[in-house]
Each structure stands twice: as structure tokens, then as C-alpha cells.
Structure 1
Amino acid sequence: MLGKILLVLMIAVAVGLSVWQRIMLLKKRNVLDQVPDAPISSFMSEALAQLVGVAGGIYLSLIMLISFLELEIPHRITVAGLSMQPLAFLALALAVLQPIIKQLLVRIRKGNW
């Protein structure tokens, strides 16, 4: 039980860190458009939309790859008591890790590690 709680906590921290990294990137790029009559968006909503979009793109690519290679994968997996599709979990995990790994690589290249 404690292991499940720790796993869910680690996943939540990773998602939070990923969203925070995306917010920082969006702030640096200053992509907020202030158009009248448009819904007001925030860096948080932009970061979450970007996270879902990236995860969706990865998911579709994985589906095409699995279909092309005709691989057999389980229909559902259970992680910390949550049942989900394995490709959806992998896509979300990769989308969450992408900005974190990118930031680490930038720091390593600059020598700020």
C-alpha cells in the first residue's frame, strides 16, 4: 500500500515538474496573445494543453508503430491501482519527462550541472 502511495506521489510530482518546466518555457517565449474577445488563457492552461497535445501525438505514433509491426500488447495495465492502456501510459510518461530531460541536457551543455 505504501508503495502505491509513493508511486502515485512520484507521478504527481513528475507531472507537476513537467507542467512547471513548460510554463517556464512559455514565459520565456512570451506566446500569450492578448486578443480582445478571445478567452483569457494562462501559462498553466497553455502548459497543460501542450502536455496533452504532445502526449496525444506520441500516443498516435505508438499506435501506428504497433499496428505496422503487428505487435501484441496487453489491452490494460494496472499502475498503482489505476487501470489504463499501456500505450497511453507510455505516451504520457514520455510527454512528462520530455521537458525535464531537455532542461537537464541544456544545463549539461552549458556546464551548469
Structure 2
Amino acid sequence: MAGDRRLSRPDSSLPDWEVPDTTYRPIPIVWFTGALLAQMVTLTAIFLLFSRLDAAYTSAIAGVATGVIGAWTWRRGMSKAATGWKIATIAMLVAVLALVLLSVSGRL
């Protein structure tokens, strides 16, 4: 059927120029990782920029930034992901925010 060529795809009846598996399908790990990296960079910058202010201001700004990143992640597609990915994303966002809140607690 394919001659001397070895085709490893199950749809070998399609012409050689047709590759049906090359469409982009976003996956939740991309949204999860994007949220993690965005939050790490943003909260690090907030922590450093507002290090001279009261801890309440830094905590509030970090909380708002985390909420914005969470909303951005949900709009990107996490709202359609499996429940496990949603739980993991929320847990990660809360855990990273908790680390920032713990680190500024000495300034209270």
C-alpha cells in the first residue's frame, strides 16, 4: 500500500502532504505553567518593589495580582480543563501567595 515508505501513522490512506495531527491543541499544563511563571515573576517584583512599605500593602497587592493571574488563566482555557487541573492551579496560586504572605509577616 505505501510502497517502500514506512508510514507510522494509522491514517496512511491520506496523501503524504496531509498531516491531520498537526493542529494546535492547548493543554492545561501550558496554562498551569504560564500561571506559575507569571505569578512567580509578578510576586517577586511586588515583594522587592514594596519591601519598604507596610506588610499589609504588600499582602494586598500580592493578593490582587494573584487574583488577576487566576482570572487570566481561567480565561485562557483553564475553565474548560479537567477538575484535577483546576484544583492544582488554585492550590498552586494559593501556595505561592502563602509563601509571600509568610515572608512579609515579619514586617507586621
Same fold (TM over 0.5): no
Normalising by structure 2, report the TM-score: 0.31
Structure (1 or 2) with the larger CA radius of gyration:
2
Q: More strand per residue: 1 or 2?
A: 1
